Amino acid sequence: MTLNVRLDPVDLDILRVLQNDARTSNKELAAAVGVAPSTCLDRVNRLREAGVILGQDLRVDAAKLGRPLEAFLSVRVQPHRRPLVDPFVEHVLAQPETRALYHLTGPDDFLVHVAARSAADLQRLVLDEFTARTEVALVHTNLIFQHWRGGPLLP
Amino acid sequence: MTLNVRLDPVDLDILRVLQNDARTSNKELAAAVGVAPSTCLDRVNRLREAGVILGQDLRVDAAKLGRPLEAFLSVRVQPHRRPLVDPFVEHVLAQPETRALYHLTGPDDFLVHVAARSAADLQRLVLDEFTARTEVALVHTNLIFQHWRGGPLLP
DNA sequence: AGTGAAACGAACCCTTG
DNA sequence: CAAGGGTTCGTTTCACT
């Protein structure tokens, strides 16, 4: 977990290729960035040890898994103190519908990305798992029509 | 791209393990779900062909890549018609700061997840790349204090 | 559709430039 | 820090159940 990491052009190339497909083999990767496979493996391991590479996520089709309705819930928690906030975070992460949770600045403190089985499931989630909690002051629901991933993240 | 996919308990186990670490080797995966490696490989390939598995993302530390400031931008586009919306989407995705873009229901039509080098970079992004555009009626900026990933997505 | 063995290819380690 | 070569390990194929 080195804090200051120096990244040369080869490292950046590696990160670019792996962000495109995290399952690229070391051999392919080495050829793509123009170094020997042994060197390339070393670079990737260093990036892992340095904490630049945190892991690799599987991208799945939520609709094909029976969750065709995705939404963002904006949640205002009041009063906004740790003894109330921490259990709220735990409860949100325990829901099978939760894909991601963000703590934000602004009046609506939390943003929750959820994937629901149906409108009824989403309604149950909002009413029973969010607004029913005493620390939750307000919930806004916005459906996701479509989403796009950005390009590779680089300095 | 079969539309209706039947997923048995082994498939669900596979998806659970791979969502935890998409780089799990086929041998490990087979042992974890209790089938032979050859069978396991077949299952994973089927899940790919069926479009359940879409790909695998590299999780990187944005701060270590020189982008320590993450934020959500809520953007209202007006008037909300395709000839204006499509170029807007292209422009957002062309920004190196963009991590993800969502088209939502509600008055603020778009939500943009961005990672900026600094407050000045974020300000430039908002002023020059968003509010400067004629189709952008309003931008709200909310910094991300902290974020959490949800558990594996399953039916 | 699942298995086990056998052939192939990649990853890893260590030594050298 | 990069490269080459040898060993180890994993992946992939295939005949069989």
**Regarding beta strands A53-60 and B53-60, do their DSSP bridges make them parallel or antiparallel, or are they unpaired?**
antiparallel
Q: How far is B46 from chain A (nearest CA, A)?
A: 13
Entry pTM: 0.94
pLDDT band at B4 (very low <50, low <70, confident <90, very high): low
Residue B134 CB coordination number (10 Å): 7
Percent of chain B with pLDDT over 90: 92
CB pair distance less than 8 Å for B57 and A146: no
Distance, CA of A37 to C1' of D2, in Å = 10
pLDDT(A5) > 80: no
Joined tokens for residue B94: 């062309």
Q: CA B39, CA A116: separation in Å to the nearest integer?
A: 31
- C-alpha to C-alpha distance for B133 and B36, rounded to whole angstroms: 56
Q: According to the 3-state scheme, what is the secondary structure of chain A?
A: CCCCCCCCHHHHHHHHHHHHCCCCCHHHHHHHHCCCHHHHHHHHHHHHHCCCEEEEEEEECCCCCCCCEEEEEEEEECCCCHHHHHHHHHHHHHCCCEEEEEEECCCCCEEEEEEECCHHHHHHHHHHHHHCCCCEEEEEEEEEEEEEECCCCCC
Which residue is the nearest neighbor of D1, CA to C1'?
Answer: A39
| Contacts A–B by Cβ distance under 8 A | 181
Q: How far is CA B139 from CA A154, B79, B89, B131, in A?
A: 25, 15, 15, 7
Phi, psi of B11 (to 5 degrees): -60, -45
Local confidence band at A4 (pLDDT 50, 70, 90 cut-offs): low
Residue in A23, A62, A153 closest to B67 by CB: A153
A6 band by pLDDT with thresholds 50, 70 and 90 = confident
Using a CB-CB cut-off of 8 Å, the residues of chain B touching A69 are none
Q: Which of residues 49-78 of B touch strand C (CB under 7 A)?
A: none
Identify the band that residue B107 occupies on the pLDDT scale cut at 50, 70 and 90: confident
> Which of these, B40, B100, B6, lies nearest to A65 by C-alpha position?
B6
pLDDT of residue B76: 96
For residue B148, the cross-strand partners are: A101
Cβ of B142 within 8 Å of Cβ of A106? The answer is: yes
